[in-house]
Amino acid sequence: LVGPKEKSVAGQVCLITGAGGGLGRLFALEFARRRARLVLWDINAQSNEETAGMVRLVYRQLAEPSPRPVTGDGEKEVVPPCNLQVYTYTCDVSKREDVYSTAERVRKEVGEVSVLVNNAGVVSGHHLLECPDELIERTMMVNCHAHFWTTKAFLPKMLEMNHGHIVTVASSLGLFSTAGVEDYCASKFGAVGFHESLSHELKAAEKDGIKMTLVCPYLVDTGMFRGCRIRKEIEPFLPPLKPDYCVKQAMRAILTDQPMICTPRLMYIVTFMKSILPFEAVVCMYRFLGADKCMYPFIAQRKQATNNNEAKNGI
């Protein structure tokens, strides 16, 4: 009847991968509003600095004294100014040497990380037989393998202190799959499997001070899967998620130590049905929803954009 109380992350070091845009940028702003110290990683230095500028603006707004009423005597309390900073690092999380060296810099320049948000992700947008091997490898490295490197870099201190929080931003396509994005689905299934196995390991080690949250959103309107379409009759009931809504739901799950969050809630039902129904029944359900070929328009757009770019450059 009473919702769980959100924990405080004020003053704690929060590291977000893929912070240069999309959900990573929104996560950074949400943690900044809660007075966390931000460490932003992205392969794009310019977009990463843009996110940092937004975070600094939030910090400046928090630093302005704002009177708050105090219950009891009716007097007003002034919130002390916060001395918070944001740190940016250019890092390719697909390269473990880059992750480990950047992590060492973070420990020396900022301190130990308390909240690790593994958010960085890429998509190739090609059918399997048309997808270059290099793109398949990159999808697996960024979306899955990078979680191993970042966790290995920061988990030891969390274990020593028995304190921390690891967030895995996966996808609903890490719980059930669709046609045409085999590499993406495989990478997200791998991230989910890694997260769940690590959760069990921490439970077995009785490290109850280290929390884990798995974030599995439905299609988010960030442009990553622009063109993806389900059946038009179903679309009004299952539209792409607004990024702000997705991140706010995920933040509430993180701050209440919720082990897993699927948005919208219908994703829980789809996952459950996939677990209990025969494969052919799942295929029928996908066809009814229009989810069996929902990625085909997206792939066609990516292919056209690639061809136009090649023609423009005379390739």
Residue at token pair 């739901």: 249
Q: Count CB neighbours of 267 within 10 A.
A: 19
Q: Is the peptide bond before 67 cis (omega within 30 degrees of 0)?
A: no
Judge whether 184 counts as a catalytic residue.
yes
Residues 6+ apart with CB under 8 A from 50: 20
What is d(CA 103, CA 148) in angstroms, rounded to the nearest whole number?
A: 13
Catalytic residue among 87, 89, 100, 184: 184
Instruction: Give me the amino acid identity at 88.
Output: T
First-to-last alpha carbon distance for the chain, in angstroms, is 62
What is d(CA 31, CA 156) in angstroms, rounded to the nearest whole number?
A: 23
Residues in the chain: 315
**Contact 216/171 with Cβ under 8 angstroms?**
yes
Instruction: Give me the amino acid identity at 265.
Output: R
Residue 91, token pair as written in the block: 């890092």
The DSSP 8-state label assigned to residue 130 in this structure reads G
The answer for 260, left when phi > 0, alpha when psi is -120 to 50, beta otherwise, is beta
| Helix%, strand%, coil% for the chain, nearest 5 | 50, 15, 35
Q: How far is CA 291 from CA 97, 221, 287, in A?
A: 39, 17, 6
Hey, which residues are catalytic here? 184
